[in-house]
């Protein structure tokens, strides 16, 4: 018995050491906004082919922010994007407002490509934490300006109004047309999904802003988050040095806030399509890490009734806002062992930094 325990301990230590010495070429981060454990449970119950069933490495994330028991998306995404906790409503700045170094900034410094795919505005709280810095998540004009000044590679989502002046039906009061700035930097600027599909895969720089605000909910689109994710990956894979991408199922959270159960399931299915594409890419590539988590739980949702086959699920809610319930972490690929167990949300960010660059110091 003692010998068996020693062997198991040594094996665990070897696996952890091996994980710490791994450096995946590519990292795909998928964030289901508001996606608590019961959201994943509902998805598993009603979808016998759920891609979540493929994960063997699973952990739990404690989502408290620096100043609140219950985090918002800004502080939650900042923890993942920077490895540090901050206050609610803060976008990749510390608790006194100083900019925090993001994993996208480090990826760019290392010569890797970067990408974001979301169904909200690309300047919203979650993508904003990867792409900019602000003491207010609501200053989306500032985030757009910061994005246009950087060299991020593939940006797909909504939020066109934050890139256009008011004279062009946008929200900007500085009269700047950021699309002109992006065009001068040789970005491709497809205006809809049809145009995006027509962009040659060899193109490495693109901004696809389909809507003035967020994208339509999943049931009202003729494309999925998985379609957008697959397209982004096809462009990012051109970089022989690798890439980091963040994909968000943004509207899972919106359905949870509004207690719209049908829409919640639809948005989870839409998010699952992106998980499938990420896993397909990782399996084919062999050197890609996929990490799925959430910034917080929304609504205190639970499954309270339904049919044995998972149809006609009845969902109940204990809150109209966020809750402090831990959320899941699902990992696949080189370094996945680091995401087992229970950890604070910023530990996810720290582990991602270390896998991207083993010499990085916090």
Tens place of pLDDT for every residue, the chain, 362 residues? 555 654 455 555 555 545 456 899 999 999 999 999 999 999 999 999 999 999 999 999 999 999 999 999 999 999 999 999 999 999 999 999 999 999 999 999 999 999 999 999 999 999 999 999 999 999 999 999 999 999 999 999 999 999 999 999 999 999 999 999 999 999 999 999 999 999 999 999 999 999 999 999 999 999 999 999 999 999 999 999 999 999 999 999 999 999 999 999 999 999 999 999 999 999 999 999 999 999 999 999 999 999 999 999 999 999 999 999 999 999 999 999 999 999 999 999 999 999 999 999 99
Alpha helices in the chain (DSSP H): 2-20, 37-46, 73-82, 103-109, 125-131, 140-149, 178-184, 193-198, 225-236, 251-258, 261-285, 345-356
Q: 361 CB contacts (<8 Å, ≥6 apart)?
A: none
The phi-psi region of residue 200 (left if phi > 0; otherwise alpha if psi is between -120 and 50; otherwise beta) is beta
118 has which bridge partners?
248
Catalytic positions are: 73
Cβ 113 vs Cβ 236: under 8 Å:
yes
At 140 the pLDDT is 98
DSSP state of 102: P
d(C-alpha 54, C-alpha 277), whole Å: 13
The phi-psi region of residue 186 (left if phi > 0; otherwise alpha if psi is between -120 and 50; otherwise beta) is left
At 22 the pLDDT is 84
d(C-alpha 218, C-alpha 223), whole Å: 8
16 alpha carbon, distance to own chain's centre: 25
Upper half-sphere CA count for residue 99 (Cβ side, 13 Å):
11
At 1 the pLDDT is 57
> Which phi and psi (to 5°) does residue 85 adopt?
-80, 145
d(C-alpha 6, C-alpha 88), whole Å: 44
**Which of 293, 294, 298, 296 has the alpha carbon at shortest distance from 339?**
293
Q: 113 CB contacts (<8 Å, ≥6 apart)?
A: 107, 153, 154, 204, 236, 238, 239, 241, 242, 243, 244
Look up the CATH architecture of domain 27-356: 3-Layer(aba) Sandwich (3.40)
Residue with tokens 């299915």: 269
DSSP 3-state of 96: coil
pTM for the whole structure:
0.94
**Which of 278, 92, 250, 229 has the alpha carbon at shortest distance from 158?**
250
At 20 the pLDDT is 55
Instruction: State the pairing for strand pair 302-305/243-249.
Output: unpaired
d(C-alpha 82, C-alpha 253), whole Å: 22
Cβ 326 vs Cβ 39: under 8 Å:
no
Cβ 274 vs Cβ 30: under 8 Å:
yes
At 11 the pLDDT is 53
At 221 the pLDDT is 98
């Amino acid at each position: 018995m003692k010998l068996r325990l020693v062997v198991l301990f040594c094996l665990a230590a070897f696996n952890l050491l091996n994980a710490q010495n791994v450096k995946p070429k590519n990292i795909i981060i998928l964030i289901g906004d508001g996606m608590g454990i019961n959201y994943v449970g509902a998805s598993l119950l009603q979808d016998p082919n759920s891609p979540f069933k493929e994960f063997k490495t699973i952990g739990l994330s404690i989502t408290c922010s620096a100043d609140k028991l219950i985090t918002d998306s800004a502080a939650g995404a900042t923890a993942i994007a920077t490895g540090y906790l901050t206050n609610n409503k803060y976008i990749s700045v510390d608790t006194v407002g100083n900019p925090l170094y993001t994993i996208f900034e480090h990826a760019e410094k290392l010569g890797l490509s970067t990408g974001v795919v979301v169904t909200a505005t690309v300047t919203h709280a979650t993508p904003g934490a990867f792409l900019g810095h602000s003491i207010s998540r609501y200053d989306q004009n500032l985030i757009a300006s910061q994005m246009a000044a950087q060299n991020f590679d593939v940006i797909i989502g909504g939020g066109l109004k934050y890139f256009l002046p008011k004279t062009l039906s946008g929200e900007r009061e500085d009269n700047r047309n950021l699309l002109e700035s992006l065009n001068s930097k040789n970005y491709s600027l497809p205006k809809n999904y049809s145009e995006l599909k027509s962009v040659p895969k060899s193109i490495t720089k693109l901004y696809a802003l389909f809507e003035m605000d967020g994208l339509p909910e999943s049931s009202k689109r003729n494309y999925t988050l998985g379609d957008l994710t697959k397209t982004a990956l096809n462009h990012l894979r051109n970089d022989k040095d690798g890439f980091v991408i963040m994909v968000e199922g943004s509207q899972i959270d919106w359905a949870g806030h509004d207690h719209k159960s049908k829409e919640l399931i639809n948005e989870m299915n839409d998010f699952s399509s992106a998980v499938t594409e990420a896993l397909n890419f990782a399996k084919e590539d062999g050197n890609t890490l996929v990490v799925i988590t959430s910034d917080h739980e929304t609504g205190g949702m639970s499954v309270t009734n339904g049919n044995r086959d998972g149809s006609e699920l009845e969902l109940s809610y204990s809150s109209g806002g966020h809750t402090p319930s831990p959320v899941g972490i699902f990992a696949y690929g080189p370094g996945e062992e680091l995401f087992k167990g229970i950890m604070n949300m910023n530990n996810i960010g720290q582990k991602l930094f270390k896998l991207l660059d083993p010499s990085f110091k916090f």
